[in-house]
């Protein structure tokens, strides 16, 4: 009698789920396809957002138990950096949503009111969150007047990315408290609320697809439960430190990706003149600046960690990294145009668009020069900047 041995059972090894950055790379070509048109027209990158939503990337920062990926600050930074290889406007605009989601997740982990409900809406309804923090920061535009049950707020907000497509605005107003003095209130304001108007005035040098139109708020009631923080005016206090530690690495990742895209295009253009010592030096300089900038950002992310706590040293590490990326990125984009020559000067060139887009980084607080002053004051034991 002949016996046969059954083959061993087949073991199926499931592939690990793709990271947010890997998913961004997969949809990158589809995003890049529309980037030049939206830049030329100054229109919002709608196709890119459709692709981001379909890939589940707009809810990447939502905790897993609420329907997202639970992405860390470092993972969200890598995501935005990858997106910028394909379209700087998509990366910058969506970074504003991502950092508000990430800070809301930080609040959720501490059981703070309203955080879970907002995160569930991001995961289930696909709502977009709009930030005005870059234009407000320590000295917000607008005022809040105390009334029964809340505040009446009015103000003119600038640099509100994706404002025409957003659902809720995370913003700030100044409140003159009779006991505490001048305060800053962090509030959540529905963009569809009566008294909120989104302008159509985004016509800029770069980042033209972000649709960062002004938002005018005219006597809008905000209930007390939508006040997320009550902070001193004019200073970077612990709550603003945490917000900055979360937001600015993510935003900085977008700009580093823009510079890397310019470098990639310059490297391709340099192939025909690779024997030139001048070109060799230019390519070497770009590689040098990008590596050092990347190390700076990695160092800041290590300081921030997965669940940041307020610390002035960590805040400064983030600002130093952003300053390094700003200065390196601008130099790299300038050199990329030199290497590529005349063709890069034409509209529609990746380098020409990156050359303009990268310059927006200096408008985010703190500027590189202000970062140096703040760092020096801290080292000398002086109070921080009234930024």
The pLDDT tens digits of the residues spanning 322-357 come to 999 999 999 999 999 999 999 999 999 999 999 999
Arithmetic mean of pLDDT, 110-116:
96
Q: How far apart are CA 63 and CA 66, in angstroms?
A: 5
Q: Which two tokens stand for residue 174?
A: 């100044």
pLDDT at 12 over 80: no
pLDDT, tens digit, for every residue of 250-284? 999 999 999 999 999 999 999 999 999 999 999 99
The residue ranking higher by pLDDT, 134 or 338, is 338
Task: Please tell me the pTM assigned to this model.
Answer: 0.94
Q: How far apart are CA 209 and CA 162, in angstroms?
A: 9
% of the chain exceeding 90 in pLDDT: 93
Quote the pLDDT of residue 374. 94
Quote the pLDDT of residue 15. 66
Tell me the helix, strand and coil percentages in the chain, rounded to 5.
55, 15, 30
Is residue 55 within 8 Å of residue 26, measured between CB atoms? yes
Arithmetic mean of pLDDT, 301-328:
97
Query: What is the DSSP code string of 25-67?
Result: HHHHHHHHHHHHHHHHHT---HHHHHHHHHTTGGGTTS-GGGT
Q: Which residues pair with 177 in a beta bridge?
A: 181
Q: How far apart are CA 264 and CA 56, in angstroms?
A: 27
Half-sphere exposure of 165 (CA within 13 A, CB side): 20
pLDDT at 93 over 80: yes
Which residue segments constitute the domains of the chain, with CATH numbers given? 20-127 (1.10.540.10), 133-232 (2.40.110.10), 238-379 (1.20.140.10)
Q: How far apart are CA 83 and CA 232, in angstroms?
A: 36
pLDDT at 3 over 50: no
Quote the pLDDT of residue 133. 87
pLDDT at 290 over 50: yes
Quote the pLDDT of residue 14. 57
Quote the pLDDT of residue 7. 52
């Amino acid at each position: 009698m002949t016996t046969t041995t059954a083959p061993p059972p087949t073991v199926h090894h499931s592939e690990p789920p793709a990271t947010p950055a890997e998913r961004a790379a997969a949809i990158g070509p589809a995003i890049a396809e529309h980037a030049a048109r939206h830049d030329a027209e100054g229109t919002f990158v709608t196709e890119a957002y459709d692709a981001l939503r379909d890939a589940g990337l707009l809810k990447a920062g939502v905790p897993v138990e609420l329907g997202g990926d639970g992405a860390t600050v470092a993972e969200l930074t890598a995501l935005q950096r990858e997106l910028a290889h394909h379209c700087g406007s998509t990366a910058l605009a969506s970074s504003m949503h991502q950092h508000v989601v990430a800070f809301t997740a930080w609040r959720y982990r501490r059981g703070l009111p309203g955080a879970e409900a907002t995160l569930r809406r991001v995961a289930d309804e696909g709502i977009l969150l709009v930030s005005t923090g870059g234009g407000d920061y320590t000295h917000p535009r607008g005022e809040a007047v105390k009334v029964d049950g809340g505040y009446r707020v009015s103000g003119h907000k600038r640099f509100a990315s994706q404002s025409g497509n957003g659902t809720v605005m995370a913003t700030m107003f100044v409140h003159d408290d009779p006991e505490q003095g001048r305060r800053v209130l962090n509030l959540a304001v529905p963009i569809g609320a009566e008294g909120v108007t989104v302008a159509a005035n985004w016509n800029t040098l770069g980042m033209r697809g972000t649709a960062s139109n002004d938002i005018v708020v005219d006597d809008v009631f905000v209930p007390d439960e939508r006040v997320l923080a009550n902070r001193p005016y004019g200073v970077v206090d612990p709550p603003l430190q945490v917000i900055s530690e979360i937001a600015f690495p993510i935003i900085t990742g977008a700009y580093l990706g823009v510079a890397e895209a310019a470098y990639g295009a310059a490297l391709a253009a340099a192939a025909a003149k690779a024997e030139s010592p001048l070109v060799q030096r230019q390519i070497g300089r770009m590689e040098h600046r990008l590596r050092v900038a990347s190390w700076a950002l990695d160092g800041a992310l290590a300081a921030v960690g997965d669940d940041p706590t307020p610390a002035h040293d960590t805040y400064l590490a983030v600002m130093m990294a952003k300053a390094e990326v700003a200065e390196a990125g601008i130099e790299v984009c300038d050199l990329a145009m030199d290497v590529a020559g005349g063709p890069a000067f034409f509209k529609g060139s990746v380098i020409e668009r990156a050359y303009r887009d990268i310059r927006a980084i200096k408008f985010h607080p703190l500027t590189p020069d202000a970062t140096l002053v703040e760092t020096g004051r801290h080292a000398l034991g002086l109070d921080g900047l009234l930024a």
